[in-house]
Structure formats: structure tokens, C-alpha cells
Amino acid sequence: MRRTQQTQGSISIEAVLIIPALLLFLALLLAIGRTAVVRADLHAAVVTGTRFAAMETSSSRGEAAAIQAIEDHLAREGVRCITVNLTVNTSALDLPPGQAGAVSATATCVVSLADLMAPGLPGSIRISTSFTTSIDPYINR
């Protein structure tokens, strides 16, 4: 089969048009994947932290336990945040025994997307999650 002059070079023109679109699509998939993984790990860390805090006997010990558990979980999972803000409410741990209460924690992580170098993507994205767990009203506090 013989090629005509009109079809020669059309594959390179198509590649020039399609490859950038495919690279942008790949960068978008990487950004979505990164944020989904960080969101899941951040939520798991906050859940772990609030449960550790709920087992403590005072608000100061509960807050320290929660922060330590959250930081350890994020480090163990390799979550890289530009900044991490942790807020833990353990005031219910200072209530007298027999009163119900809850411990809550909120974590905010700013994740960098700048290394994906895709036009239209923000340089970073802010991910926030929170969790509340009840405390045992009859624990020795």
C-alpha cells in the first residue's frame, strides 16, 4: 500500500496535540489521588488521637496523648503537610465521674501540589477533618 503526500507527518501532529492533554489528565489524577490519600490518613490519625485522649484521666494528659498519637500516625504513614494545625477539646475529661462527655479533635493539613507542575492546579490544598468520641462516664478520672 502506498502512502500519499497528505497523510505523511499527521501522526506527529496528532501526538503534539494529544500528549499535552494526556499529561494534564495524568497530573489531575495524581492530585486527586494525593488529596484522597492524605484525607484518609488525616482522618484515621484524628480518630486514633481522640480515642487515645478518651482513655486518659485528665484533660491535659488527654490533649497531650491525642496530639502525640496524631503526629505519630501521620509520621508513620508518611503524610507530608506544609502545615498541620491540631485542635483537641478534652475538657470533658475533667468532669466528675458519672457525667457523660465527649472528646473531639480537628486536624487541618495543607498539602502541596506544586510539584505536579500542572497549569490550573493550585499550589496547595487545605484538607480538614474532625472526629468526636464519647468518654466512659464511669472511668476512674
| Cβ partners under 8 Å of residue 72, min gap 6 | none
- 3 in a domain, yes or no? no
Please give the mean pLDDT across all residues of the chain: 88
124-135 and 83-89 beta bridge pairing: unpaired
* Number of alpha carbons in the 13 Å side-chain half-sphere of residue 7: 4
- 101 in a domain, yes or no? yes
**Among 79, 78, 107, 97, residue whose Cα is nearest residue 135:** 97
Q: Which domain, by its residues, includes 59?
A: 10-135
- 17 in a domain, yes or no? yes
- 4 in a domain, yes or no? no
DSSP string, 78-105: T---SEEEEEEE-GGGGSPTT--EEEEE
- 2 in a domain, yes or no? no
Mean pLDDT, residues 52-72: 94
**Count of the separate structural domains present in the chain:** 1
Q: What is the pLDDT of residue 89?
A: 96
Tens-place pLDDT, residues 12-25: 777 788 888 898 89
Beta-bridge mates of residue 85: 108
Distance separating alpha carbons of residues 132 and 23, to the nearest angstrom: 41
Task: Tell whether pTM > 0.75.
Answer: yes
